Amino acid sequence: MVGTDSNGLPITEYCDRFGLTIHERLRLFLELCSAVKHAHEHGIIHRDLKPSNLLIVRHDATATLKVIDFGIAKVVMPDTDLKLPHTRIRQWLGTPNYMSPEQMQWSPDVDFRTDIYSMGVILFE
């Protein structure tokens, strides 16, 4: 169950509950940037980045970010023979409050920038 220390807390809830400073919040955000960069380098667009999919787990005194729920992720690897199902056009996937304008408009050209947009919304929160 999300919200317990064993499974982690959503990033925004964790920051508020433990009164993290701006510096501490930015350290967690940099972890998110690194994780998303890693996914993007491997051709994966998450498409549903939101606080409840970004869990902070504490091990001793260290907080670690876990990016979860790649259920609607899009794989974009043009130089592969891997046959993947395509998302249908006009299929609304994601959480509206965190979706990029392109994702909200059902654009078939959603790319890595949609995750960057969602990260900006999360950083704003």
Is 48 annotated as catalytic? Answer: yes
Residues in the chain: 125
From 5, 16, 48, 81, the catalytic residue: 48
Tokens 């929160």 belong to residue: 125
Largest distance between two CA atoms of the chain: 48
Which tokens hold the place of 108? 């078939």
Round to whole Å and give the CA distance between 51 and 44. 19
Round to whole Å and give the CA distance between 121 and 53. 14
- Residues assigned a catalytic role: 48
